[in-house]
Structure 1
């Protein structure tokens, strides 16, 4: 009797998007191997034409790659997290009820779009020390927008009536927003006073997957 197909995620440990997948795997109890990769390589480009990490590889008879034979591959971190939850039939993390599922998707999409774009310039300049992101006015604007978006999360946490983004149940929305919260807390910026976000961060620190791939893994 064969076991489940092995899972690998290609990408750097410092990538917040790779960490989403690794933390999701912890919540699901799934063994997963992270593999360093050159995103500029032709082999990687064949898997993801965007040449961005992460890429999920599921082993099994299929396509030969430098990382073994692959029956299925997938890019885009939020899509990977959703796939793994569906694969394991974890309706607590990714509900099937249409309205509840839409709410989880809404907050995951907000994180990947609006929230990520708000912090990108300031984070690259202040944390990654990128020479291309050192304009003081743009950094200040980025910090302001970052705080403004985190205030929206603060308001949602207050309105949800529970410890998590959507209330009593921990979902994939908390995985992606939890890592975004860690990045905000760890960044060397002037932080808005957001008590609900701070309490949320403390609750996240009770989850082993967050401790491993969030709190203890750098900004």
Structure 2
């Protein structure tokens, strides 16, 4: 219900605004116990929203190529990524409070986000090493399947915009994200224990979740259109 509500609100928000600002940016995600992830240029469209004086609402989307992420609610403990690389579409919806300064605009942001992953699967090599170490085996080889549903979470952060000229501003933004989605996995793990015996075990964790937590960093330029609409401001960064 939360995921559908955030997604619907984001779509409604996008449909209400006429262009006042647009921009170009690069957004990077550093996941918790995962690998540094890059944006898939040019699929980053952020800062679309409406402002009323110092307050506003923003949405947009970013398509990431996640290099690897962590799994939580699992007995498998490792500092390595437990997923293979995959694509992820993330849509934020957040409130914005702006504070003008002498040389720029300081913004506090907070809200929620939804995301969907394309073909996210288990990194079997890292899983095998963690399983082998925990069970004191000589060799481990897993064959697993996992669920890959929509996820949601909350986010907060800040940004700073410095005006280069009346039409162009430089923006730097940082956010912390905390989210999760279903990862229920099951299958079998075969291997050899320290006695040299062949072992085959069933593996199943219905409550496992993809840990969509980490830090997001964005840098870019925001361009002011020549004739913005008076009824509100719209910002978008791509």
What is the TM-score of this pair, normalised by structure 2? Answer: 0.20
Larger helix percent: 1
Select the structure of larger CA radius of gyration: 2
| Higher relative contact order structure (alpha carbons within 8 Å, sequence separation ≥ 6) | 2
